[in-house]
Amino acid sequence: MRRTLIAGNWKMHGLTADLSWVEAFHRAANPNAPCDVLVCPPFTLLAAFAARCTDKAIEVGAQDCGPAVTGAYTGDVSAQMVADCGARYVITGHSERRAGHGETSEAVRTKADAALSAGLIPIICVGETLEDREAGRAEDVVSAQLHGSVPESITGADVIVAYEPVWAIGTGRSASAEDAQSMHAHIREIWSRGRPEALRILYGGSVKPDNSAEILAGADVDGALIGGASLDPECFASIVNSVR
């Protein structure tokens, strides 16, 4: 059984005053919703979030990690540091990291390996650009990213994949439920070659309360990685409450 995961990626948002989000979300969310809930705040709030979420059935993750364990890497945060803050997950290979910071699939794989070594579950992101999709290359691009980014000899219990069509991130334009399901099925077919264990695949890209139920209804859609809508606790709770 693949349990649904609703994950919030705060990106570069959040100050100490925003820790009140935890209580506001907890009041608004259905405590019996059949899903796991994850929040990925900025590094500056990671430990504080973990401390406030321990008794509220909310998991905490980081938005990135460095590939090294320790050393002279100014500005990097290692996977061990992330785990030390109380987090259990880390996002790797988000399209904004790939595009804005030049991260290759090889670099993403190295970070995912570092996360696994620290006992974290990496959420490895893949997704095509609008140019790729219009040229009919979407599946090829996603396949190449999967092969390059996912460590070998890994099981479905060790990792999560998030499909994020780049053209739908922060644009207000979301892939149709049919588009999301089709790509998720493609990802699952690739994964299943030699890997019998179930893999959770999340959809990311302008998920909101008004489209979440339709997207999550896809047979191969196991949850969502949510950006802007996760900053509003009531809005994020509405998405959690839509899980059936």
Active site residues: 94, 164
Residue that the structure tokens 């899980």 belong to = 243
Q: What are phi and psi of 204, to 5 degrees?
A: -130, 135
**E strands of 11-163, at which residues?**
35-40, 59-62, 89-92, 121-126, 160-163
SS3 at position 123: strand
Tokens read off for 90: 């880390």
Beta-carbon count within 10 A of 72 CB: 6
Q: Which amino acid, one-letter code, is at 153?
A: S
Instruction: Please compute Rg for the chain using Cα positions.
Output: 17
**CA distance readout (Å), 234 to 59, 149, 221, 237:** 17, 34, 23, 5
DSSP states of 81-109: HHHHTT--EEEES-HHHHHHS---HHHHH
- Rounded CA-CA distance 157/34 in Å is 18
